[in-house]
Structure 1
Amino acid sequence: MQSKFIIVGGGAGGLELACKLGRKLGPEAVMLVDSRLFHIWKPSLHEVAAGTLDVHQEGLSYQMLAHDNGFTFVYGPLTALDAQQRLLTVGAILSEHEEILPERQIRFDKLVIAVGSTSNYFGVPGAAEHTISLNATEDAERFRLTLLKLLTLAELKQDAGVDVVIIGGGATGVELAAELREASGVYAAYGFRRLKAERDVRITLLEGAPRILAPLPEKVSDAALKLLRERAVTVVTATRVTAIDERSVTAGDTVYPAQIVVWAAGIKAPDFLKTLGLPTVKSGQLDVDGTLAVKGFDYIYALGDCAACAGPDGKLVPPRAQAAHQQADYLLETFLREHKGKPPQNKPYEYRDYGSLVSFGQTTSVGSLMGSLKGLSWFVDGFVARMMYVSLHLMHHQAVLGTVRTGVLALARFLIKRTTPLVKLH
């Protein structure tokens, strides 16, 4: 097999690049490789975990996206790379020890690695074994099914409940805590009649920094803390988790009972990147220059969480969806200019921070919007912030589905929500 442009990783940035490039150049020139069959917007995984979003309705088939956007989809994980020969190996797909797809090798002219990130446990004992991290749809589904089982058991027993501990007060941890509180009240309305949400679903959020949402303005952090406390979420800051076992989380001198533990305290690049023979930095990310090319290879690029890209100020671009979106557009311009025989772009990629929004359930959000002047930002909250948060998801869908289909899909989901339970009950 051979393709001019191969993109490995169908997350927000990788998929958008494949769709936009495929619409211009066609399936003979553009190929997307991913180890999963369906795409879901990663910032919505906390809703899948809480049961307020059905992954089977939300997921988009890569094969369908490939057909509609003019690229070729290859199903399987990247297992090896021969950078000098421009040859990558896609691993076999097995089902119950039966080989469904064999190992394949593909030659390329240009390669883009966009494999995202995974959890960084920082060596905390028991973290890898006894926590769930919302890295992928299967993680969110595992959390949801575990929660549903525990709620069912709590309903059968008097004076029982569910203790949920979320480690990490960044956007993922805060959004999950808020979504869980809202969802627990909905579960109580669907047959769990003995369940009192605030009493029986006990949610604790642990954060090592002095405040939650530490990278965001203090006003956003304070508003988020107020909203969580109004929802009876216990928030403990400036605390360091030292051990986790099957039933508890230890932080300093305090032991928190826990039947479900979510790890949202940090991310790192996937470990396999270090085996590809490409330069990496201490965090394991691929070391790229200002054009997003991996250093030493002018035909291999990286974008998103797996790329260590320094801005003009020397600071690394943050691992955020808007960065991956911007980098995808930058590489799209790079590749199209080359395809048309035009000179390369005359300036390196520069990250632009448009602000951050944090979801607090289905009705409200908080966040900050960045102005065109350096250091200028506006605080937003309530319904307006919620609508802006929803628009981010729609903008991603518009990039991969087009405007008309995104509008139809949004309308269909609105109607479906009127005819189905507010939470997934099976």
Structure 2
Amino acid sequence: MHYDVVIVGGGAGGLELAAQLGRKLGGREGRERVLLVDKMPFHIWKPTLHEVAAGTLDAHQEGLSYTVLARRNHFSFVMGEFMALNAAQQSIRLAAITNEAGKEVVPERSIGYRHLVLALGSGSNSFGTPGIENAYLLESVRDAQRFHADWLSACAHASYAEPRSLSVAIVGAGATGVELSAELLEAHTMLQESQGSSQRFRLEINLIEGGDRILGGLPPRISEQAATALERKGVRVMTGTRVQALEPGEVITPDGPVAADLIVWAAGIKASDRNALLGLEVNRINQLVVDDRLRTSAPQVYALGDCAATPWVDGKTVPARAQAAHQQGSYLTQVLYAALKEGRFDEPFVYKDFGSLVSLGDNKGVGNLMGGLSGKNFFVQGLVAKWMYMSLHLMHHRAILGTVKTAVLALARLLQQRVSGRMKLH
């Protein structure tokens, strides 16, 4: 099996690249020349995993089939887990696929390429914290669904058992930790409204951050607004608190243990340890080092998204955000399309920071627009920020579905939400 362009990873950047490149090539040419590889059969936008975890977003409704997307956007798709790279022979290996009984249904495969794009994403950085196995991670749909199932069980237990309370500790107050706090509060409110007074319970959320403020990568004003909003909702925001260990039922800190029926680890990112075994240059958190053309240390191998350490300004690398993956996917579409048409696109990749938005639950949000490299920053909050946050998701869908289909999908989901509500209870 051989393709001109092989893209490994169907996240925001990888899928958008496959869709845009397939559409530019069109029809049979796109399907014969462009291949997307992912270990899952369907795609969910990673910034929504906290909503899946809380149950305010249904993964089965939100998920988009890679097979259907491939047919509509004129690229090919195969399911499989990326195992190894042989840059000298320009090929990759995919692991065998087994069924639930452990029987092999698809053997290991080798796929040759002319150009390879690694869009492998990233996971959580445990920083060597003892007891990390006692925490939930939100790195995939399966992680989010596992937490959601246990969250519902814990809610049911708290509804009938004294002292009628449920405590959740979230370690790490970046966007994921902050947004998960808000979504859990919203899910709890909806659950309480559906129960009688005798079944209601108190939810305690402790948001633990080692830095001096939450949302440390964003402007201080956003941090202050978000902290105030969360505290008003009842979240205990603990900044400047280093986590020493995680134990069953509690988080150990220098100021004493923090009780927790459920612990979620959302502190820091780290690329897969497997990246260091690919024969490519990596940095200290296993991101693939790329140049200003997104090229790795191997010929014809590119990397984008969270798995790539892309040079930016003042010695910094491009932040691991969905908007960065989106821009990198669009950039590589131009590069690879030119190469496939025997042309050349030699402009460097330039990241533009369009700002950041954080969802704080129902009809609330905060953010800054237009970035901080030049010009003014515009601060937005409340319903306007929430709508803008939701529009980012629609922009992603537009890149892979087109304008008309995205509009229809948005309308269908709005009507479905009004009929069935937001919370998933099964």
Instruction: Give the aligned partner of residue 67 of structure 2.
Output: 63
Are the counterparts in 2 of residues 152 and 192 from structure 1 also a CA contact under 8 Å?
Answer: no
Instruction: Give the aligned partner of residue 259 of structure 2.
Output: 257
Are the counterparts in 2 of residues 13 and 114 from structure 1 also a CA contact under 8 Å?
Answer: yes
Instruction: Give the aligned partner of residue 367 of structure 2.
Output: 367
Q: CA deviation at 1:253?
A: 2.7
Instruction: Give the aligned partner of residue 246 of structure 2.
Output: 244
TM-score of the superposed pair, with normalisation by structure 2:
0.96
Q: For the structure 1 residues 372 and 176, does the alpha-carbon distance in structure 2 shift closer, same or farther, using more than 3 Å as the test?
A: closer
Q: Which amino acid aligns with 2:128?
A: G
Q: Distance in 2 between matches of 1:276 and 1:142?
A: 30
Q: For the structure 1 residues 256 and 286, does the alpha-carbon distance in structure 2 shift closer, same or farther, using more than 3 Å as the test?
A: same
Q: Which amino acid aligns with 2:182?
A: A
Instruction: Give the aligned partner of residue 280 of structure 1.
Output: 282
Are the counterparts in 1 of residues 55 and 424 from structure 2 also a CA contact under 8 Å?
Answer: yes
5+ unaligned residues in a row in structure 2: which ranges?
Answer: none
Q: Distance in 2 between matches of 1:395 and 1:273?
A: 30
Report how many aligned residue pairs link the two structures. 421
5+ unaligned residues in a row in structure 1: which ranges?
Answer: none
Q: CA deviation at 1:312?
A: 4.5
Q: Distance in 2 between matches of 1:257 and 1:223?
A: 26
Q: Distance in 1 between matches of 2:392 and 2:300?
A: 31
Instruction: Give the aligned partner of residue 119 of structure 2.
Output: 114
Q: Distance in 1 between matches of 2:161 and 2:294?
A: 56
Q: Distance in 2 between matches of 1:239 and 1:18?
A: 42
Residue in structure 2 matching 1:157, options 134, 155, 161: 161
Instruction: Give the aligned partner of residue 23 of structure 2.
Output: 23
Q: SS state of the match for residue 31, structure 2?
A: coil
Q: CA deviation at 1:191?
A: 3.3
Q: Distance in 2 between matches of 1:40 and 1:192?
A: 35
How many percent identity over aligned positions? 50
Instruction: Give the aligned partner of residue 323 of structure 2.
Output: 322
Q: Distance in 1 between matches of 2:191 and 2:33?
A: 48
Are the counterparts in 2 of residues 278 and 286 from structure 1 also a CA contact under 8 Å?
Answer: yes
- Superimposed CA distance per residue, residues 54-91 of structure 1 (whole angstroms, 9 cap, x where no aligned partner): 00000001111111111111101011111100111111
Q: CA deviation at 1:41?
A: 0.5
Please show how residues 17-416 of structure 1 align to structure 2 within 5 Å: 17-25=17-25, 26-95=30-99, 96-127=101-132, 129-191=133-195, 193-196=197-200, 200-295=202-297, 297-345=298-346, 347-370=347-370, 374=374, 376-416=376-416
Q: Distance in 1 between matches of 2:232 and 2:196?
A: 23
Instruction: Give the aligned partner of residue 2 of structure 1.
Output: 2
Q: For the structure 1 residues 101 and 422, does the alpha-carbon distance in structure 2 shift closer, same or farther, using more than 3 Å as the test?
A: same
Q: SS state of the match for residue 13, structure 1?
A: helix
Q: CA deviation at 1:45?
A: 0.8
Q: Distance in 2 between matches of 1:389 and 1:422?
A: 17
Q: Distance in 2 between matches of 1:379 and 1:312?
A: 23
Q: Distance in 2 between matches of 1:281 and 1:421?
A: 44
Are the counterparts in 2 of residues 188 and 194 from structure 1 also a CA contact under 8 Å?
Answer: no
Q: Distance in 1 between matches of 2:113 and 2:355?
A: 36
- Comparing 150-159 with 223-232, which one deviates more in the overlay? 150-159
Q: CA deviation at 1:339?
A: 2.3
Q: CA deviation at 1:341?
A: 2.9
Q: CA deviation at 1:373?
A: 6.5
- Superimposed CA distance per residue, residues 20-59 of structure 1 (whole angstroms, 9 cap, x where no aligned partner): 0111221100000001111001111111111110000000
Q: Which amino acid aligns with 2:403?
A: T
Q: SS state of the match for residue 27, structure 1?
A: helix
Q: CA deviation at 1:133?
A: 1.3
Q: CA deviation at 1:372?
A: 8.4
Q: Which amino acid aligns with 2:239?
A: T
Q: CA deviation at 1:254?
A: 1.5
Q: Distance in 1 between matches of 2:198 and 2:408?
A: 39
Are the counterparts in 2 of residues 7 and 111 from structure 1 also a CA contact under 8 Å?
Answer: yes
- Superimposed CA distance per residue, residues 140-185 of structure 1 (whole angstroms, 9 cap, x where no aligned partner): 1111111100111111223232110000011100000011111101
Are the counterparts in 2 of residues 312 and 350 from structure 1 also a CA contact under 8 Å?
Answer: no
Q: Distance in 1 between matches of 2:210 and 2:199?
A: 31
Q: Distance in 2 between matches of 1:253 and 1:135?
A: 29
Q: CA deviation at 1:214?
A: 1.1
Q: CA deviation at 1:190?
A: 2.5
Q: CA deviation at 1:192?
A: 6.1
Are the counterparts in 2 of residues 155 and 193 from structure 1 also a CA contact under 8 Å?
Answer: no
Q: Which amino acid aligns with 2:262?
A: I
Q: CA deviation at 1:375?
A: 5.7
Are the counterparts in 1 of residues 164 and 200 from structure 2 also a CA contact under 8 Å?
Answer: no
Q: SS state of the match for residue 422, structure 2?
A: coil
Q: Distance in 1 between matches of 2:197 and 2:105?
A: 45
Q: Which amino acid aligns with 1:420?
A: S
- Comparing 219-228 with 95-104, which one deviates more in the overlay? 95-104
Q: Which amino acid aligns with 1:406?
A: T
Once superposed, what is the RMSD of the aligned Cα atoms?
1.3
- Superimposed CA distance per residue, residues 327-360 of structure 1 (whole angstroms, 9 cap, x where no aligned partner): 1111111111222333332x31121110000001
Please list every run of at least 4 consecutive aligned residues from structure 1 whose deviation after the TM superposition is greater than 6 angstroms: none
